[in-house]
Copies of this chain bind each other. A is one copy, B any other.
Amino acid sequence: MNQYINENKDRFLSELLDLLRIPSVSADSKFAGDVRKAAEFICQKLSDAGADLAEICETAGHPIVFGQKIIDPALPTVLVYGHYDVQPADPYELWDSPPFEPVVKDEKIFARGACDDKGQVYMHIKAFETMVATNSLSCNVKFMIEGEEEVGSDNLGIFVSANKEKLAADVVLISDTAIIANDIPSIDVGLRGLSYLEVEVTAANRDLHSGVYGGAVANPINVLSKMIASLHDEDNRITIPNFYADVVELTPEERAAMALTPFSLDAYKEDLGIDEVVGEKGYTTLERASIRPTLDANGIWGGYIGEGAKTVLPSKAFAKISMRLVPNQKSEVITDLFTKHLQAIAPAGVTVKVRPHHGGEPYVTPIDSKEYRAAERAMEEAFGKKPVPTRGGGSIPIVALFEKELGLKTILMGFGLDSDAIHSPNEHYGLFNFYKGIETIPLFFKYYSETN
Contact = CB atoms under 8 A, between A and B. Distances in A.
Interface in A270-292: 272-280, 285-286, 288-289, 292
A50 interface: no
Interface centre among A292, A308, A317, A424 (most CB of B within 10 A): A308
A308 B204 CA distance: 26
Given A311-B194, A311-B423, A423-B311, A297 B392 contact: no
B310 A215 contact: no
A389 interface: no
B305 A299 contact: yes
Given A209-B424, A302-B299, A277 B312 contact: no
A308 B228 contact: no
A211 B312 contact: no
Contacts of A314: 298-299
Interface centre among A215, A299, A306, A318 (most CB of B within 10 A): A215
A88 B314 CA distance: 13
B308 A297 contact: no
Interface stretch (A219-227, A335-343, A398-406): A219-227
B392 A217 contact: no
Given A88-B308, A222-B232, 6 more contacts: A27-B306, A28-B307, A211-B392, A300-B300, A305-B320, A311-B395
Nearest to A213: B289
A296 B309 contact: no
Interface string A227-239: 0111110000000
A299 B276 contact: no
A294 interface: yes
Contacts of A206: 94, 272, 421, 424-426
Nearest to A418: B212
B289 A212 contact: yes
In order of increasing CB-CB distance, the 10 nearest A-B pairs are: A211-B394, A215-B294, A205-B273, A27-B308, A299-B303, A221-B297, A229-B229, A225-B228, A276-B348, A225-B225
A179 interface: no
Contacts of A303: 297-300, 320
B205 A423 contact: no
A425 B207 contact: yes
A27 B285 contact: no
A7 B110 CA distance: 70
A192 B208 contact: no
A18 interface: no
B298 A300 contact: no
A452 interface: no
A48 interface: no
A296 B424 contact: no
B309 A300 contact: no
Interface string A17-58: 000000000111100000000000000000000000000000
